[in-house]
Chain A
Amino acid sequence: MKVEYLNPFLDASRSVIQELGLGRATVGKIEIAPNPHGSGGLLSMIGITGRLTGRVLYDMNESTAINIAGVMMGETLPELTQMARSAIGEFTNMISGNAATILKERGFAVDITPPTVITGGQMTLTDFGEMNVTLVVPLILNKGVVTVNLAIKEAHKHGG
């Protein structure tokens, strides 16, 4: 997987995080993993289609999800409510949508799917099809860590 696919997600993350009043995000140690493990808190999965294909998974523990959703909702949340889960889904949708815009500007026309938010339990993120390399990128916020798991590649070119 090329690093040029990752940078739009990092740029979009920093921009969205700041715009939402979540402060500044720094990037932790980037790793490559065949089957990364979810933190057991909340996962939001978004598919990438078009010139590039694959998926991006945003992984965070429950307390980070509660903190981020609380800022977005303008209230202190005692727990991860349905509305908070929806807020986190929208948070990841905004990052992915903004990343898709940057990718398009750099010559990679992609579309994104609506987010699927999953909560609870330790999960192993078994990859799909030919996608066997995932870039694991921790985004360190003052509200906690959001780990971006990115696995995308150029779509097969069909003749004609």
Chain B
Amino acid sequence: MADELALPKKPDGSNFKILIVDDSEFMIKNLERILTGMGADVLDSALDGLQAVEKYKKLMPNIDLVTLDITMPNMSGIDALAAIRSADPKARVVMVSALGHQDIVKTAILKGAKHFVVKPFKAEKVFEVLKLVLSKPA
């Protein structure tokens, strides 16, 4: 990964810590490669919304950001977003979904998502969004 795609460090000099949520093993691996290459630590991944909420609660407060798919079995990303934000009102969640119409983006933002990335995406887009979101206080 090029140096210009290096994410900033936390104030204590450590890497930002991320949970990836997607029902596609391929997408988890793909995002993990991109995020690790940018200098983030991927602490864990989840394959559906229920797992995501459970894992987020276990990782609190040592988790800095969640990438969250929307179309997933058991619990959708929108419901998982609400549950995560209910458990941690400061949670930074970035939606990463193949659905990208205005209503779903608006719903996600109203429920507390910090940003929205539509699939398919380039690594540069993920970098741009995460750099912006992580530059702001949680």
Contacts and interface: CB of A to CB of B under 8 A. Distances in A.
Contacts of A53: none
Contacts of B102: 104
A30 interface: no
Interface residues of B, number: 20
Contact of A90 (B26, B73, B101): B26
Interface of A: 16, 19-20, 69, 72-73, 82-83, 86-87, 89-90, 93-98, 100-101, 104-105, 109, 111-114
A100 B98 CA distance: 9
Given A93-B71, A112-B71, A114-B72, A98 B26 contact: no
Nearest to B48: A114
A93 B96 CA distance: 12
Nearest to A87: B26
B23 interface: yes
A83 B25 contact: yes
A83 B101 contact: no
Contacts of A105: 101
B25 A101 contact: no
A98 B100 contact: yes
B27 A90 contact: yes
Secondary structure of the B side of the interface? loop
B10 interface: no
Contacts of A101: 99-101, 118
B86 interface: no
A109 B26 contact: no
A38 B76 CA distance: 30
A108 B56 CA distance: 35
Contact of A19 (B25, B73, B100, B120): B120
Nearest to B72: A114
Given A101-B100, A104-B103, A114 B26 contact: no
B90 interface: no
B101 A93 contact: no
A72 B121 CA distance: 12
Contact of A98 (B24, B72, B98): B98
Contact of B73 (A82, A86, A114): A114
